[in-house]
Amino acid sequence: MVLLWLENEMVKFVFVTGGVLSSVGKGIVTSSIGKMLQIRGFNVTAVKIDPYVNVDAGTMNPYIHGEVYVTDDGGETDLDLGWYERFMNLNLPKENNITTGQIYEAVISKERQGEFLGKCVQIVPHVTDEIKRRIRFVAERSKVDVVLTECGGTVGDIEGLPFLEAIRQMRLEEGFENTLYVHVALVPILEVTGEMKTKPLQHSVNELRRIGIQPDTIVARCRDKIDFETLRKIALFGTIPEKAVFCSYNVSSIYQVPLILDEQGMGEYICRRLNLPGQKPKWSEWKRFVDAFENPRSEVKIALVGKYAGLVDSYVSMNEALRHGGAACQTRVLIDYIEAEKFEKNPSEVNVLKNYDGVFVPYGFGPRGTEGKMKAIRFARENDMPFLGICYGFQLAVIEFARNACGLDGANSTEVNPDTKHPVILLMPEQEGVKYKGATMRLGAHKVVVKKGTLAYRLYGAEEIYERHRHRWEVNPDYWKVLEEHGLVFSGKNPDGRRMEILELPNRFFFFASQFHGEFKSRPGKPDPEYYGFVKACLDRKLGKAKPEFKWIAR
Ligand code: GLN
């Protein structure tokens, strides 16, 4: 909703920088600022700047940079876009993730076209102009009141300098009242004395000033609540009013962060500083979700059997989607991350799955760990444990079924074994001959037609759904028949019916998998149906019910 009195007014720009360390929660602070503005009636969008040279996050190993987030329009982006979408219930376009690679690609292409004829092309102004143009493009396209821009990395990184220079210039061009710099930095606690140390934060503020940016507000990230004296010190050294320093301390769920920052007056401060006369904040809906999250009545334990189990950030959207599903049935979801290869080295290890209420096999690429994941899937199928497979998890469920239920020995995906006797999972025809790795998978939202009378239909309550994808392989049409003859039901297909999207086993309590990634559309209070269905099935199985009972939750 755009408030009337804001029409014809200028867009406000909030810039979030980070100090001391990366991964201090800038993404959550940015999302929380967005939420604080949204619940005061403002239209908001958020941009993530990633100063790396990759054009997008698509070719990065999740072990290095965490999960690759996928947008509706097929962008392969930084995982912070996921936080923005979840906190602010947005569907962002890929332009909201800006990288050095994109900027240089555009500037160099313009140079080759002769757009800068006669000029020496430089970081300032050509690169910085391109950065500003992209931030403003987001503002124009999304027609919002406020654009939040988060600069990835830490102040002082070489790669981040052109971006900080660009946002410094934006203050001059957009005006003081329309721009706000938020600096988020860590305040460590000394283990021995328990003392909170502000010196690293002070240094990062100095570094920011050296670049020409004086922060307007500081969010000190600390394990514990920071005492008043320490906050005063931060304000003094940072040359900002005391009421503009806030503390983001550890809370039991990240969805509480906007609440604790707003309690300290951050929402009000930002609105006043940007001259945004908002409504009274309406937190009731958000609080309802946080309460359901915080006060569960039951608990389920899920085994996530994956390849990137060592880094929780690899599965952040899946993790959140499972928890959103849990909150919808007042259930705490405990997730154990299990390296699939463990089951290959020691096959009897798979029996640990007995200690769980459900088995979850996530996305993945390449051969490593696939046999272990299939052992887990087989265990779930044969012991009738609730199972959810996503993307690679879907493909591996097909292979496991082909091998062990249809007797197709050696069945595999050509991704794992190009010479397999039974290539039940095959490269999609349009992928043949594709050499480039960047942005060439089947990406983004595509229509899926759901078959009536199936578990999928019960969960989605619709015959047509749009779900986000990121894959190159698919179920081989030559094997549909034999799989179905043995009891596998493909309950979701693409509109022309030549691409299998959802599978289920009707004779099991809950055995469900999808080629798409429902987790990218899951929101607090609006869980994704397949994740909700899985968690509810885990709960109902644990409670000894004969069948899972789903309440349809409108998205
Ligand atoms: N590797 C598989 C494919 O490309 C699955 C991808 C995924 O899990 N996102 O089709």
Probe residue for ligand 1, chosen from 415, 425, 469 as the CB with the greatest number of ligand atoms within 8 Å = 415
pTM attached to this predicted model:
0.95
Q: How far apart are CA 186 and CA 26, in angstroms?
A: 10
Average pLDDT over residues 173-181: 97
Q: Is the pLDDT of residue 555 over 60?
A: no
- Joined together, the tokens standing for residue 431 give 């992928």
Task: Check pocket membership of 473 for ligand 1, CB cut-off 6 A.
Answer: yes
Average pLDDT over residues 330-337: 96
Q: Is the pLDDT of residue 198 over 60?
A: yes
Average pLDDT over residues 528-552: 95
Give the rounded percent of residues in the chain with a pLDDT score beyond 70.
Answer: 97
Sign of the dihedral through C-alpha 467, 471, 472, 477:
negative
Query: Which tens digits make up the pLDDT trace of 533-544?
Result: 999 999 999 999
- Residues labelled as active-site residues: 391, 517, 519
Task: Check pocket membership of 470 for ligand 1, CB cut-off 6 A.
Answer: yes
Cα of 499 vs centre of ligand 1, distance in Å, is 14
φ, ψ of residue 271 to 5 degrees: the values are -60, -40
Task: Check pocket membership of 415 for ligand 1, CB cut-off 6 A.
Answer: yes
Specify the residue with its C-alpha closest to ligand 1, atom 5. Answer: 392
Verify cis geometry, omega within 30 degrees of 0, for the bond prior to 51. no
Task: Check pocket membership of 398 for ligand 1, CB cut-off 6 A.
Answer: no
Task: Check pocket membership of 364 for ligand 1, CB cut-off 6 A.
Answer: yes
**Nearest atom (ligand 1) to Cα of 517:** 9
Name the least confident of 15-29, 40-54, 264-278, 336-350. Answer: 15-29
Q: How far apart are CA 356 and CA 196, in angstroms?
A: 40
**Nearest atom (ligand 1) to Cα of 362:** 8
Specify the residue with its C-alpha closest to ligand 1, atom 1. Answer: 365
Specify the residue with its C-alpha closest to ligand 1, atom 6. Answer: 471
Q: Is the pLDDT of residue 118 over 90?
A: yes
Confidence (pLDDT) at 4? 41
Confidence (pLDDT) at 526? 93
The mean pLDDT of the chain is 95
Confidence (pLDDT) at 347? 87
Query: Which tens digits make up the pLDDT trace of 485-520?
Result: 999 999 999 999 999 999 999 999 999 999 999 999
Exposure letters 405-424 (e unless 16+ CB within 10 A, then b): bbebeebbbebbeeebebbb
Specify the residue with its C-alpha closest to ligand 1, atom 3. Answer: 471
Confidence (pLDDT) at 20? 80
Confidence (pLDDT) at 64? 79
Confidence (pLDDT) at 167? 97
Average pLDDT over residues 467-477: 98
Cα of 246 vs centre of ligand 1, distance in Å, is 42
How many residues appear in the chain? 555
Close Cβ partners of 343 (under 8 Å, ≥ 6 residues apart): 305, 349, 350, 371, 372, 373, 375, 376
Task: Check pocket membership of 76 for ligand 1, CB cut-off 6 A.
Answer: no
Question: 291, 505, 246: which is closest to 382 by C-alpha?
Answer: 505
Confidence (pLDDT) at 551? 84
- Joined together, the tokens standing for residue 300 give 């389920």
Query: Which tens digits make up the pLDDT trace of 146-166?
Result: 999 999 999 989 999 999 999
Task: Check pocket membership of 519 for ligand 1, CB cut-off 6 A.
Answer: no
- Joined together, the tokens standing for residue 92 give 């962002």
Q: How far apart are CA 350 and CA 50, in angstroms?
A: 40
Q: Is the pLDDT of residue 7 over 60?
A: no
Confidence (pLDDT) at 1? 40
**Nearest atom (ligand 1) to Cα of 393:** 8
Probe residue for ligand 1, chosen from 361, 363, 476 as the CB with the greatest number of ligand atoms within 8 Å = 363
Confidence (pLDDT) at 5? 42
* β-strand partners of 12: 146
Q: Report which residue type is found at 348.
A: S
Average pLDDT over residues 330-346: 95
Probe residue for ligand 1, chosen from 67, 317, 368, 395 as the CB with the greatest number of ligand atoms within 8 Å = 395
What is the full DSSP assignment across 151-220? EPS-TT-TTTHHHHHHHHHHHHHH-GGGEEEEEEEE--B-TTT--B--HHHHHHHHHHHHHT---SEEEE
Q: Is the pLDDT of residue 24 over 90?
A: no
Q: How far apart are CA 150 and CA 181, in angstroms?
A: 10
Q: How far apart are CA 333 and CA 328, in angstroms?
A: 11
Confidence (pLDDT) at 23? 76
Confidence (pLDDT) at 21? 79
In the 8-state DSSP scheme, what is residue 402? H
Task: Check pocket membership of 391 for ligand 1, CB cut-off 6 A.
Answer: yes
Cα of 470 vs centre of ligand 1, distance in Å, is 7
Q: How far apart are CA 419 and CA 515, in angstroms?
A: 23
Exposure letters 197-227 (e unless 16+ CB within 10 A, then b): ebeebbbbbebbeeeebebbbbbbbbeeebe
Whether 376 contacts 350, CB under 8 Å: yes
Task: Check pocket membership of 328 for ligand 1, CB cut-off 6 A.
Answer: no
Indicate the pLDDT class of residue 553, thresholds 50, 70 and 90. low
Whether 349 contacts 311, CB under 8 Å: no
Confidence (pLDDT) at 552? 64
Whether 276 contacts 146, CB under 8 Å: yes
Q: How far apart are CA 523 and CA 88, in angstroms?
A: 9
Query: Which tens digits make up the pLDDT trace of 239-273?
Result: 999 999 999 999 999 999 999 999 999 999 999 99
Q: Is the pLDDT of residue 68 over 60?
A: yes
Average pLDDT over residues 81-101: 97
Q: Report which residue type is found at 445.
A: A
Whether 295 contacts 287, CB under 8 Å: no
